[in-house]
Each structure stands twice: as structure tokens, then as C-alpha cells.
Amino acid sequence: MQDLGSRFLYQNFSKEYLVLVLIALFFILATLGALKTPLFGLLVFLFLILSVLLVIIYRQQKISLSVSQNLYTGLLSAHKIAQSFAVSTDTGETLLTVLFCVKDLFPTSKRVMLFWIKKESGKKMISGLDAVGMKLSEIRSFIFPLDKTLGVIPWVAITNNPFETLDAKNDYFCDQDFVVKAELSAFIAVPVVVAQQSLGVLLVETTGNALHSTEEVKILAFFASQIGTALENVRLYNEVELLSITDGLTGLYNHRHFQKVLEYELIRSSRYKRPLSLLMLDIDFFKDYNDIFGHPAGDTVLITIARIIQTSIRSTDFSARYGGEEFCVILTETKKGDALVKAEEIRRKVEECQFLDEKKQPTKNLTVSIGVSDFPDDVITKEALIKKADDALYFSKKTGRNRVTPA
């Protein structure tokens, strides 16, 4: 592609140079001829006009081929994007693929930025999502209210119109605070539109030498729409995937996914010689509560306890609804002593939580019983680890409930 472009530019430069020399000669001849015979001067003048037309035709051919080259590059990039979409369901990976393709399409561009519309505290905002040529923390520091009077980025997103400037610092339409912080001088911004809905804005920083052609803007808009389509597909895929691995009521992982996570974490703990602990929880006398107050009230209890568990553990830990009124928690890189402390914390929080009509329970309170096992001190296999924790849980229930028992 680069060789073709170089060859074309060389050929056209040579042709234009030759034509310019001919024009100069014709001009000289026309001047001399006009002094002798008006007819000869007229003929030479006609040749002069034809030469000028020839230069114009050459330049039009040059522009046409340049556009064709961009279209060809765009098609190759689109094919590359399509291939990445076929094998990737990761949002970050998909974004970088498309942004780098845009960078290749506009080789003189310094940075490529993507801004995305989202809701924050009930209000629509547009903020930096990802970029090529700058740190992720930098692009994500830019947040704009979705108001077209507050700068170029929200204006492009709302109006669905492209915008280009060669001197952002002296362009009254640009948000100067954004221009200064992003250190922008020249750029082109196009909306990301899918099914006539604006999702964001794609910004390409340029050299500022000249405005882009209509064809180039259309190509950029095409890639912007591809970004929107790709992200929507990834989002939908992730939503479906999330539904398949989470419990619909509590939002915790379901039993099937818990088994997979535990197996993986045990392999990881074994490889790096790290401890791992497992908590098994059961709500005391939950069947009685459910029978007396109904399933809606019972569902509220399950949701509340799931929230207590989730807010009590680290982001590196995993919680799941094991089945019915049973829950389990995988505490990564945690010894049994620390796991017992965490289990006691969860038990106490549940005991202190106020549930509807819990005083009518046999224990005058809604509580949980917990069993704790650990790897590798207790057992070394997944099945044995679960059984040890389950046996400890059964002992907690057998000896009075509302307590924590180690394996």
C-alpha cells in the first residue's frame, strides 16, 4: 500500500513538473509569437489553456486515488476488526483493536480518543472511555454533562454531526478547559451512532495542516459506527453470560459457576502455595419463616443476607448462592484463623440486622450457622473441601445454631 502511494506521488510529481515546464515554454513562445503574428500567439495561448486543464485533471486523479487508497485501507481495517470481534468478547480488547485501526487509517493522527454516554446519579453524562496515545486514567478524567452548549464533545453526541478544527485554542466553540487539559490543537470528532441512537464520540487528533475531505469524514464515521456496534454486541454478550452464571434473586454467583471458580482457585492456590478457605452458611429456621410470612418476605431475607455477605468480603473473594437458603464464600489467600474471623463478622451482622417479624422465629431472631474449612491444612481436593465445610455447618446447626464451626 505504501509502495503504491509512493509510486503514484512520484509519477504525478514528474508529470506535473513536465507540464509546468511546458507551460513556461508556451508562455515564452506566446509572448514572442504575439510580437510577430497574432495567429501564432493565439495558437500558443490555446496550448497554454490545455496545459492548465491537464494539470487540473492530474490533480483530480491524485485526489481520487488518494480517496481510493483510504477506502482500501479502511476495508482492510474493517476486515481486521471483524476478525477480532469473532474471537473476542472482551470490551477492552475490542476497543483497542478498533482504535488502533483508526490510528492506522489516519497515520498522521497523534491520539485517538473515545467518549461514551452513561448515566451518573440519574443524569446523562459523556465521559472518556478509552484512548490510543494517552493513559487510561487521563482519558477517563474527562467528564461532560450531556448539554450541547457545554463544548464540542457533548455537541457532537447530541447533534450527531461531525466537527473539525485546525486551531482548538482559538476556536470559541471548543471547551477551552478540555482543550488545555488534553493539550489539543487540531482534531476531528464524529458521533458514534447505532440504529439512529447516539452512543458516544470518536475524536482523532490531527496535524492541523488541512481539513479532512468529505470522504475521509465518512470513513471515520463508518469506524465510529463499528465501534458502537461492537460495544453493543459485547455488552449484550456479557449480559447473557452474566445471567448464566448468577443467581437471579440475589445477584451472587450460582452453584454451577461456584464449582468452576472453586476448582480454578484451588489450582491457583496449589501452584503458588497459597492458602484458601471456604465458608458454608445456612439460614436458621428459614423454612418456618418462609411458611409463616410467605415467599416474598423470604426472598427479601435472602437478598438482604446476600448483600451482607457481599459487602463483608474483598473484591478478590467470591460469594455464591449454593442452593435454597445456603450460601458459600471462597476466601482467597486466607488461612483458617482469618476465615473464622470473617465468618464471625458475617454471623454477627446478620444477627444484628432487623428483619420483618423475626421475633416470631423460634430463636426470636433471624440468624445463620456457618462451617469453615481450608486448603491445604484440612484437605487438598475440591469435593473434600466442600464436604468438610458442610460437615462443620451441620455441627453448628446441631449444637444450637447461630454459630461458626471450624472443620
Supply 164's cell numbers: 473539525
Final residue of a structural domain among 42, 65, 87? 87
* Residues labelled catalytic: 325
Final residue of a structural domain among 87, 122, 147? 87
**Interval 320-338 mean pLDDT:** 95
- The answer to whether residue 318 is domain-embedded is yes
97 and 152 inside one domain: yes
- The answer to whether residue 150 is domain-embedded is yes
Final residue of a structural domain among 194, 221, 243? 243
123 and 183 inside one domain: yes
Q: How many CA atoms are closer than 13 Å to the CA of 81, on its beta-carbon side? A: 28
CA distance 82 to 104: 16
Q: Answer whether residue 382 shows pLDDT above 70.
A: yes
98 and 223 inside one domain: yes
Among 400, 397, 362, 399, CA closest to 280: 397
Q: What is the pLDDT of residues 151-203, one digit of tens each?
A: 899 999 999 999 999 999 998 888 899 999 999 989 999 999 888 888 999 99
- The answer to whether residue 44 is domain-embedded is yes
Query: For position 235, which CATH number holds?
Result: 3.30.450.40
Contacts made by residues 96-99, CB under 8 angstroms, sequence distance 24+: 96/130, 96/132, 98/223, 98/226, 98/227, 98/230, 99/130, 99/131, 99/132
- The answer to whether residue 189 is domain-embedded is yes
Question: What is the structure's pLDDT at 25?
Answer: 58
The whole domain housing 300 covers 255-406
Q: What's the pLDDT band for 29 if we cut at 50, 70, 90?
A: low
- The answer to whether residue 151 is domain-embedded is yes
- The answer to whether residue 12 is domain-embedded is yes
- The answer to whether residue 250 is domain-embedded is no
Query: For position 278, which CATH number holds?
Result: 3.30.70.270
Least confident stretch, 81-85, 120-124, 301-305: 81-85
400 and 345 inside one domain: yes
- The answer to whether residue 249 is domain-embedded is no
287 and 392 inside one domain: yes
